[in-house]
Every structure is written in C-alpha cells, then in structure tokens.
Chain A
Amino acid sequence: MAERPEDLNLPNAVITRIIKEALPDGVNVSKEARRAISQAASVFVLYATSCANNFAMKAKRKTLNAGDVMAAMEEMEFERFLEPLREALEVYKKGQKGKKEVSEQKRKDREKKVDSESREEEEEEEEEEERMEEEAEGEAEEEEVEN
C-alpha cells in the first residue's frame, strides 16, 4: 500500500488545539511553528515505534504491546509521560471493558432467545413422541383384549 506523504501527517486542527491548550492563553503560534510541531509529532511516533519494536523483538514477540511502549518512553527519556500514560490506559481499558461487556451481554441475550426457541421445539417433539407411544401401547392392549 503506497502511502502519500500527507497520510503520515497528523490532522492540523487537532495539533493546533493541543498546542493552544498547553500554552498560556493568548500566545500567538506561527503557522510555521504549528507545521513544524506536527512534523515533529510524526517523527516522535516513528521513533517511539522503532524503540518499542526493539523491546518486542528482544522478547521474541511479533506484536507490540503496552509494556513495549512504556519501555520506549523510558528509553527516550520521557519518564514524565509514564504516570499520565498509566492513568490514561486505566481509563481506556475500563471503557473497552464496558463496551465488551455490553456486546457480550447482547450476544448472550441473543443466544438465550435462540436456545429457548429450540428448547420449545424439542419439548414439543418429545411430547409428540410420548403421545404416539401411548397410542401404540393402547392399540396393542386393545389387540390383546380382542384376542
């Protein structure tokens, strides 16, 4: 898949917002500065990914995990990020768990419904069989009586 250069950039509006929120009110940020920060952010992602990937490869894993990213931050000397990252991850995981539970519950509800429908059918079939057996026995008795 060929990526165009723009695809590896982060959306300007969001970057601008993050910058504004970090700085004191009213600071004027030049367009050039904004663009440069955006590019720096992309480079940061690449650097962090490469670093995290080294940790994963050392552990003979093919999938990058949370621990690898945290180790990368330390390696890159961004220890100040570790605590906020841990907290954010907690919140994120809880949110994911909630979503998962909701969809799990929906799945269970659907299964229960299907189950109970098929159980009803089974019960009807069993009753049918019993009735037929009784009829057969009844007929056999009648035959005996006749004989």
Chain B
Amino acid sequence: MQNGVNFTKKNISLPISRVRLIMKSSPDVSSINQDALFLTTKATELFVQHLALSSFNNGSGKETNSLSYSDLATTAEETETFHFLTDILPKKILARDYLKSLEQMQEEEGDF
C-alpha cells in the first residue's frame, strides 16, 4: 500500500454508478467515457453546493439560520443559471388561490 491517508484518492462522494444510470436514461446517449463520467459526477457535487449556498444567501432563511424549500424555489426563479429548475421547484401557492385560478380557467374554457 503506497499511501496511508486515502482522502485525496477519492475526491468525489457521489456514486459514479448511480450518475451513470441517470445519464444513460437520456435518449440518444450511446456511451460515456470514464473521464466524462467522473466530470459529470464531480460537477453534480459542485452544483449541489452552489444551489444550496446561493439559495441560503438569497433566501429569507438567513435570519433564522435555515434553508427551506421556498428559498430554493425563489432562487430558481430569480437566478438565470437556475432557470432550468423552475419546473421541478415551483413556487408554492395557497390551495384556495389555486382552486380559484382553476375555476377561472374552467370558466374561460366554457366560453368556447
């Protein structure tokens, strides 16, 4: 065994195999080389850090020292690089407001 301390050897925490599974579910992707797989995994880790920190700094939880879902939704909406997340991080609305807008939509459709 060369080195006693291993912490530099594995510089990622996410399982490459799982990331590979997700990548392969993408249409048109035939094969992925080892380096590309590693980079995607590492990039995902960087992304998680970036999303968490941005949302925390940007959000209302700073006073209460917390990170909540709405901080994330806000960040997705307000920050360009996170726009691709708006579908999966929708802002939450009150049920009654939703029902009201649903009624309005039905009324509009009824006009046809």
Interface residues of A (CB under 8 A from B): 3, 7-8, 10-11, 14-15, 17-19, 21-23, 26-30, 32-33, 36-37, 39-50, 52-53, 57, 62-66, 68-70, 73, 76-78, 80-81, 84-85, 88-89, 91-93, 95-96, 98
Q: For residue B81, which residues in chain A have a CB less than 8 angstroms away from its CB?
A: 76-78
Tell me whether chain B's interface is mostly helix, strand or loop, or mixed: helix
In the complex the two chains form, is A65's CB within 8 Å of B35's CB? yes
25 sampled A-B residue pairs with Cβ under 8 A = A3-B25, A7-B18, A11-B18, A18-B49, A22-B53, A23-B53, A27-B61, A32-B68, A33-B68, A40-B47, A40-B89, A41-B48, A48-B44, A49-B29, A63-B30, A63-B31, A65-B33, A68-B36, A69-B40, A73-B43, A77-B80, A78-B46, A81-B43, A85-B39, A92-B11
In the complex the two chains form, is A39's CB within 8 Å of B31's CB? no
Contact flag A49-B48 (CB < 8 Å), given A27-B67, A64-B29: no
Complex Cα–Cα for A48 and B34 (A)? 16
In the complex the two chains form, is A92's CB within 8 Å of B72's CB? no
- CB within 8 A of B38: which of A17, A44, A89? A89
Nearest CB on B from A140, distance (A): 64
In the complex the two chains form, is A18's CB within 8 Å of B13's CB? yes
* B5 at interface, CB cutoff 8 A: no
Interface positions, chain B 47-80, Cβ under 8 Å from A, are: 47-53, 55-56, 61, 64-69, 71-72, 76, 80
